Structure formats: structure tokens, C-alpha cells
Structure 1
Amino acid sequence: MTILVTGARGNVGSRLLTALATAGRPVRGSARDATTLRLPAGAEAAELDLTDPGPAAADALRGVEAVFLYPVRGPIDGFLEAAAKAGVRYLVLLSSPSAYEAGEFARPIGLVHRAVERAVASSGLQHTVLYPSWLATNAQRDWADQIRTTGRVAMAFGDASVTPIHPDDIAQVAADLLTRDTFRARMQILTGPQPLRLREAVATIGDVLGVELPVDDLTRDQALEREQGRMPRPIVETLLDVAAASIGQTAPVTNTVERITGHPARSFRSWIETHRTDFLPS
């Protein structure tokens, strides 16, 4: 049984590809440009555009019985039809809590994920939807440049509550679901082991680096201006509003990672320790 991992360049897809290949599973990773893939030993490459699969879909899906689907903007019905025709029996969809959370499900991020979920549900393919919490990799995306260049972090709503999840845990859950049917529920909600306020997450990075990282509190408008050009404004507005709404609350924690993988969910600190150099001045 070959497993197709779409979005194989991503934080989760690349780790899943490696986990499956290391376990000796026949696995194929896909991207729009297959030459950009860095494949582990034993993995195959496929060129595939999920929104415009064309004849490439048949090659990518040859001998495939299970698929890891990375969400994309745009129609994926053609790919899902090709998957069903090729004999795919099961699919794991990486989604987001934004598809169902208050204040998010009817806004841009939630609408994208809901559209993909609807397409998968309409395909008739057996599937499980993964809903991971705040990704530990967000710290790198949002703060690494600031920390490297200024030794500080400027943010709005530093008291927002999140439960960071290690991408390796998401990949291991997906690998389990793709290779055995024990936990193939309609959905699995995944979190890290401990809720943190955003400013506590920054302090954790500082502790690992051995320095103090001051947090400069921004207003919502200041944060919008700062993020101009980095992300579309409606996306930034949604993220800021979600952060503001979480202040005074405790982000959810589940035991799903441990229940499926057999080990406790990895801490945010463990991800920072592994990626410590990403936050150091170059």
C-alpha cells in the first residue's frame, strides 16, 4: 500500500513523509514543483497541483490506497474524483479549529478549511479530519526575525491563551491513522500538553536562549500596521480578534496525541530547544 503525502514541503507533510519512510512504508510525496522536494531515503516524488490535477493525478495516485491531504485554496473536487477512481480507500485531512471555533468559522481562514472539508465529505472517501491547536512553528513565523534582530518581541494581546503543539506529534498521529484503523474517527482534536499565554511562550524562548526577551505590547491598530504586507489584512484581523477573545480563558488541552501515539504530547519548550539556532542572531 502506497501512501501519498500532499504538501510534502510543509512543516507537517515533510515530517510525515520522513516518519513513514523511516518505518519502511511505501510513500510518495507531492508538490506543485517536485524538484523542490527534499525526500528521505525510500520516498518517491510526484508533481501535483491539487486544484488543477490533470493527467498528473493518475501518476501521483498510482497504487495509492491512503492520502494525507494538505488544505489548499481553490477547488479540489477533481483531485478527489481522481483519488476515488484510483482506488484510494482512506484520507487524512489536515484542517484547523478555525473551521468550527466561534469568531473564526465564518471568517477567511475558517471558510477556506470548511470548503476543503465539504469537498472531502462529498467525495465519499472514508476520512478523518485533524484539528491541531496553535502550531509551535508559529513562534518561528511570527517572532524569530524580531528576536534575531532586536532581542525583543512586539505583539498585541500578549495575554492570549494558546496550547502549542509540536509538528512531530501531528505527523505521528497522521502516520498512525494512515497505517492502521484503530483511531479512524470522523475527527481528532490535537493539542500540546500545556496552555501558555503568548508572553509566556516568548519567555520560554528566552529561557532556552539564556536571555531575557522583553515583550512590547501593541494595540490592535499598531499590530495591523506592523503586519501590513506580510499577510492579507482580513487574515491578520481574524488572528488578532481570536487572540483578544482568548484573554482570560484557558486554551483547551486534549490527550489525543498520547492516546494515539502512546507517548505524551511534546512540549513547546522541546520544539524551541530543537530549533534554538533559528532564534539566534546570524
Structure 2
Amino acid sequence: MILVTGATGNVGRPLVDLLVEAGAKVRAGTRDPQPNLPDGVEIEPSSTPSLSGVTAIFVNSRAVGTTLGPLIDRARAAGVRRVVALAAINVDDPVEAQPSRYTGDRNKEVEAAAIDSGLEWVSLRPTIFGTNSIGLWAKQIAGGDTVYGPYATASWSPIDPRDVAGVAARALLGDDLLGRKIELTGPGSLTLREMVATIGSVIGRDLTYQEIPPDQALRRFAEIGLPDGFGPAMLTMLARNAVGPAPVTGEVERILSRPATSFAEWVTDHKGAFRA
């Protein structure tokens, strides 16, 4: 039995599908009362899932919240053999350069908990998800052809969460990734200006990214409902990313024996989010 926490999230949902397709028994931790998961998947609360019969766990720190430590302790006591942690590529950066901490991620803590658990472990360190572009830009794109934001030349190598799920499935089902901190990226580095232009190309519009000063960007982050602290951390991260291309690790292709999904391919599969 494999427990997937955050089972209806960007990574957890495709991970559940991959594990079921592989013939694994899956227990899904989720807060969604109607998760619409495959037949045969057991449903449990994300924060207090049963560990009876579980041999491996996929841990999403945002899903388990403050129960992260107790969950790992319970897993060890219950005889769980393996933990696969969802961390991030910037896990070793200063906290003030990790905006996802302000939306609930505890990347450093979940990786440390996995390594210190005494269990078999793998830590996945993905870069920014393609889905982040929806939260950052979709409302502006719905309202016009210009996206306003800071640091137009800052670079990311956005990854499709389904690729992260593919690597997670490999880590849960096989032994070849044990003991690794795996940095996962998309197949290419793109500036923010190039990412917005890519979205425009896919949805058939001539979109442009107009750089604005950091103080104006902070106001925009607040306007779209992002929590306090997110804006300054995002600006710090983007300033660091403006000095050159984002890293491209090639790990997805090496591990899954297929190319990583490009940002254009991801947008094509989710273009409805930018047309609303």
C-alpha cells in the first residue's frame, strides 16, 4: 500500500493515476470531500491518514501541514519502509528567497524529515511548476494583452507537475533513486517575457510582458490575493534569477527515458485557464 498525501494536488493527482496504472494499492490523503479518484483508491484525511499496511509514503508538506513530524514518527512506528518527499529546487536558498513558504510549503523541513527518518528516502526538488503561471498571470491575460510584472529577464525552467509525478512514481516503486536529492526542471530556460509570449502563441494572442518597478509589483501581488511575505520573497528570487539562464538538469529525461514536457506543451494542455 502506498500513501499519497495531497492526492488531489498538482503532483498528487497524476501520481495516484500512475500508481494505479502500475497495479499498486493506493491510499489517498486529501481534504477534498469529493476527490473523484480512480476506483479502488482508499480515501483518508491528509493530516491524519491511517498507516495500516502502508509500505511507502509520498509526503507533500503543504498537505500535511503541522502534522509532518508526527506523520513521519507514526510511519516509522508502523513499519513503513520508504518516504518520498516533495521539496523544491531552491530548498537550500535563504528563507527570504522562497516565496512558496508563504503559501504553505515547508520544503526544507520535509526533506530533512525524510533524510532523518531512518527509512529509505528520496527527495524531489522540482523547479517552479507551469501551473504557477496561472496564478501569476491568468487574470491579467483575461483583461488585456499586456502582463505587468518585475524582472522581465528573470529566468525559470518551468516543469510540468505530471513529470514530477512520473519521477515520484519511479521513486516509490523502484530502488534506483534511493538516497538522492533530485533536482527536476523542464527542458529549457525561459525568461518571464518568453513565458508570457509562449502563452500568447498557444492561445492565439500577441501577449507582451511589461516590466514594472518592484514596489509596483508588490502592490500587484497583494491585489491578486497572495499572502503577506510572498511578494518580497518572490522579488528576491527573481532578482537572483535575472543574472543568467535558469538551470536545466535533464533528470526527467534520464529517469523517465523520455523528454521532459515543454512549457508550450503544458500551456497547450491548460490553455482554457488563460482564456477564462
Length-normalised TM-score, structure 2? 0.91
Q: Residue deviations 1:203-240, cap 9 Å, x none?
A: 00100111101222211000111112622232221111
Deviation at 1:48, TM superposition (A): 3.3
**Contact in 1 for aligned 2:155/2:246 (Cα 8 Å):** yes
Report which stretch shifted further, 94-103 or 213-222.
94-103
Deviation at 1:112, TM superposition (A): 3.0
**Contact in 2 for aligned 1:76/1:116 (Cα 8 Å):** yes
Paired residue for 1:169?
163
2:53 to 63, 67, 72: 63
Cα distance in structure 1, aligned partners of 2:99 and 2:118: 26
Q: Name the SS of the counterpart of 1:128 in structure 2.
A: strand
Q: Residue deviations 1:116-159, cap 9 Å, x none?
A: 32333332222111100121111112111211222321111111
Paired residue for 2:218?
224
Paired residue for 1:151?
145
Unaligned residue ranges in structure 2 (runs of 5+): none
Instruction: Give yes or no for the alignment of 1:264 onto 2:263.
Output: no
Q: Name the SS of the counterpart of 2:28 in structure 1.
A: strand
Cα distance in structure 1, aligned partners of 2:131 and 2:85: 19
Instruction: Give yes or no for the alignment of 1:40 onto 2:34.
Output: no
Q: Name the SS of the counterpart of 1:208 in structure 2.
A: helix
Cα distance in structure 2, aligned partners of 1:250 and 1:235: 23
Cα distance in structure 1, aligned partners of 2:219 and 2:146: 18
2:250 to 251, 255, 258: 255
Cα distance in structure 1, aligned partners of 2:256 and 2:112: 28
Deviation at 1:107, TM superposition (A): 8.2
Cα distance in structure 2, aligned partners of 1:36 and 1:152: 37
Cα distance in structure 2, aligned partners of 1:34 and 1:62: 21
* Structure 1 counterpart of 2:196, one-letter code: V
Report which stretch shifted further, 38-47 or 13-22.
38-47
Report which stretch shifted further, 194-203 or 242-251.
242-251
Q: Residue deviations 1:177-203, cap 9 Å, x none?
A: 100111223211111110000110000
Deviation at 1:93, TM superposition (A): 0.3
Cα distance in structure 1, aligned partners of 2:57 and 2:124: 13
Deviation at 1:17, TM superposition (A): 0.7
Deviation at 1:269, TM superposition (A): 0.5
Instruction: Work out the number of aligned pairs and report it.
Output: 271
Cα distance in structure 1, aligned partners of 2:182 and 2:43: 28
Match runs of 1:154-233 below 5 Å: 154-228=148-222, 230-233=225-228
Instruction: Give yes or no for the alignment of 1:3 onto 2:2.
Output: yes
Cα distance in structure 1, aligned partners of 2:9 and 2:211: 31
